[in-house]
Amino acid sequence: MSTDTQVSNRWSSRYAYVLAATGAAVGLGNIWKFPYIMGENGGGAFVLVYLLCILLIGIPVMMAEVIIGKRGRSTPANAIAHVAAESGRSTHWSLIGTIGVIAGFLILSFYAVIAGWAAAYVFFSGSGEFSAAAANPVTNADVIGALFTELITSVSQLMVWSTLTLIAAIYVISKGVKKGLETAITYLMPALLVLLVGIMLYSAVVGDFAAAFDFMFHVDFSQLTIEGALVALGHAFFTLSLAMGIMMTYGAYLPKGVSIVKTSITIAIADTIVALIAGLAIYPIVFANGLEPSAGPGLLFQSIPLAFGSMPFGDFVGTLFFIMIVFAAFTSVIALLESPTAYLVERQKMSRTKAAVVAGVGIWLLSLCSIYSFAGADWTKLSFGMGGDIFEFLDYLTANILLPLGGIFISIFAGWVMKPNILQEELNLTGTPFAIILILLRFVAPIGILLVFANAVGLL
């Protein structure tokens, strides 16, 4: 990726762009977060609302972001200002970019910690902890659960992992090591998918697949609260890496002649498939072992190791699985660090390396809040608002407030502020298909987000 503000180089191909954007999209959001928030929010109805949010809001907003980035050929705030000026509007719209920078900064502070959990699990699996636990099927789930608790209450261990994650990300971002990443994503993303499908099949055999399928796809709206709908909406943004300027940044490198419509849909479909398969891999194990779907952030880490424990070559497969999760998380970590870094380069005129270090150190300091939250430290417990701890607060603030807010502004900007002919030209669509996207951006996305948001926070 280019190191200066004005974008000079492009992705080497359409394929390279789709891979990089898919790498940013597919991550812990799919494999760690989606399964547990689905469990906390009742299953099927949540999944349906989530899928609708992806289709009707996420995909159009993604197209809008890519268009802004491509048209502006610059970092997010400048790209928005450029497109606003081209449309004869105020360049103050570039403030949308600022929301994204803040959200990216806050998200990475806990994302890096969870990536650290996955890294620790590479070694748990490699050293045979899961198969050892499986030796006694009666205590199996308890032993795996204790392993997890021991990890998340070990502040020093988690600090080591999140520190290493952030240092590696700072290095990659400051050097702009794009080539290596492209190659790695080319092989590791498909490998992750194959492995996930394999684990799903194995879970289906040893676990309770029927219960899992029913839980995920039997729609019962009495199980879904309005807060749950907001979680689904916020997650649609989170999982597609939207409203953080990421897709604008990636769009800025888009070669001419690549279809924004097709690539956006491809990325969204790939992301959705990984999330659904992750759910179908985890839930049969959850139900067969009497675990709680509402177990929260530990769900993945307390369920899937049970499958590895009993699987032939399970220690090996488990090690591979967690290595790939670490990798999928890392491509997202890099995308997340890119947005505050680009902001510092652009606004504070820092060198790229200095900007990456400054952003990285800030994020590292904030990550301590999430680490101590998981460890249960008293000072992380919040007395105001909805209670919970600092991690839960950061998660709520970003996914349920900042991202939907950013989504409203982006859709309004693309639907109403930007000249429609820019939209049409970049989408390269006419007639009904164009009208549909315009209606989604003008009405469905902003009004839908506003209604869900206002209802959930009690304004309506």
- The residues binding Na ion (CB under 5 A) are 25, 29-30, 239, 271
Closest CB to ligand PHE among residues 209, 321: 321
Residue written as token pair 């164009």: 434
Closest CB to ligand PHE among residues 145, 245: 245
Q: Quote the CA–CA distance of 394 and 234 in Å, as a whole number.
A: 13
Q: Which one of 57, 83, 295, 335 is in contact with ligand PHE (CB under 6 A)?
A: 335
Interacting stretch for ligand PHE, rule CB under 6 A, among 3-11, 234-242, 292-300, 418-426?
A: 234-242
* Helix ranges (DSSP H) in 350-398: 352-374, 390-395
**How far does Cα 366 stand from its chain's mean position?**
19
Closest CB to ligand PHE among residues 207, 404: 404
At its nearest, how many Å lie between ligand PHE and the CB of residue 250?
10
Closest CB to Na ion among residues 30, 74: 30
Closest CB to ligand PHE among residues 278, 306: 278
Interacting stretch for ligand PHE, rule CB under 6 A, among 75-83, 235-243, 314-322, 341-349?
A: 235-243
Choose from Na ion, ligand PHE, none: what does 41 bind? Cβ within 5-8 Å by kind.
none
User: Applying CB under 6 A, does 355 fall inside the site for ligand PHE?
Assistant: no
At its nearest, how many Å lie between Na ion and the CB of residue 274?
7
Choose from ligand PHE, Na ion, none: what does 77 bind? Cβ within 5-8 Å by kind.
none
Q: Which one of 74, 332, 367, 380 is in contact with ligand PHE (CB under 6 A)?
A: 332
Closest CB to ligand PHE among residues 22, 174: 22
Binding mask 170-209 for ligand PHE (x = CB under 6 A): ----------------------------------------
Choose from Na ion, ligand PHE, none: what does 244 bind? Cβ within 5-8 Å by kind.
ligand PHE
User: Applying CB under 6 A, does 239 fall inside the site for ligand PHE?
Assistant: yes
Pick from 231, 343, 254: nearest CA to 14: 254
User: 363-393 burial string, b = 16+ CB within 10 Å, else e?
Assistant: bbebbbbbbbbbeebeebeeeeeeeebbbbb
Residue with the shortest CB distance to ligand PHE? 29
Choose from Na ion, ligand PHE, none: what does 334 bind? Cβ within 5-8 Å by kind.
none
* Close Cβ partners of 441 (under 8 Å, ≥ 6 residues apart): 60, 61, 64, 411, 414, 415, 423
User: Applying CB under 6 A, does 244 fall inside the site for ligand PHE?
Assistant: yes
Phi-psi category of residue 242: left, alpha or beta, with phi > 0 → left and psi -120 to 50 → alpha: beta
Q: Which one of 115, 224, 246, 363 is in contact with ligand PHE (CB under 6 A)?
A: 246
Report residue 236 as tokens: 């649609």
At its nearest, how many Å lie between ligand PHE and the CB of residue 239?
4
User: Applying CB under 6 A, does 29 fall inside the site for ligand PHE?
Assistant: yes
Residue 303 sits at the vertex; the CA angle it makes with 143 and 113, to the nearest 5 degrees, is 90
Closest CB to ligand PHE among residues 252, 335: 335
User: Applying CB under 6 A, does 238 fall inside the site for ligand PHE?
Assistant: yes
Report residue 240 as tokens: 């597609």
Based on its alpha-carbon atoms, the radius of gyration of the chain, rounded to whole angstroms, reads 21
Report residue 383 as tokens: 């007395």
Q: Quote the CA–CA distance of 20 and 11 in Å, as a whole number.
A: 9
At its nearest, how many Å lie between ligand PHE and the CB of residue 27?
3
Residue with the shortest CB distance to Na ion? 239
Interacting stretch for ligand PHE, rule CB under 6 A, among 19-27, 120-128, 186-194, 210-218?
A: 19-27
Closest CB to ligand PHE among residues 263, 289: 263
Pick from 109, 76, 114: nearest CA to 413: 76
Q: Which one of 19, 21, 27, 295 is in contact with ligand PHE (CB under 6 A)?
A: 27
Instruction: Count residues binding ligand PHE (CB under 6 A).
Output: 15
* Close Cβ partners of 343 (under 8 Å, ≥ 6 residues apart): 75, 77, 97, 98, 101, 355
Interacting stretch for ligand PHE, rule CB under 6 A, among 28-36, 310-318, 375-383, 435-443?
A: 28-36
Pick from 300, 267, 305, 380: nearest CA to 115: 300
User: 21-49 burial string, b = 16+ CB within 10 Å, else e?
Assistant: bbbbbbbbbbbbbbbbbbbbbbbbbbbbb
Q: At what angle do helices 403-412 and 226-239 cross, to 10 degrees?
A: 70
Residue written as token pair 């799903």: 200
User: Applying CB under 6 A, does 105 fall inside the site for ligand PHE?
Assistant: no
At its nearest, how many Å lie between ligand PHE and the CB of residue 433?
26
Pick from 125, 113, 119: nearest CA to 374: 113
Q: Quote the CA–CA distance of 246 and 25 in Å, as a whole number.
A: 10
User: Applying CB under 6 A, does 400 fall inside the site for ligand PHE?
Assistant: no
- Binding residues vs ligand PHE (CB under 6 A): 24-25, 27-30, 107, 238-239, 241, 244, 246, 332, 335-336
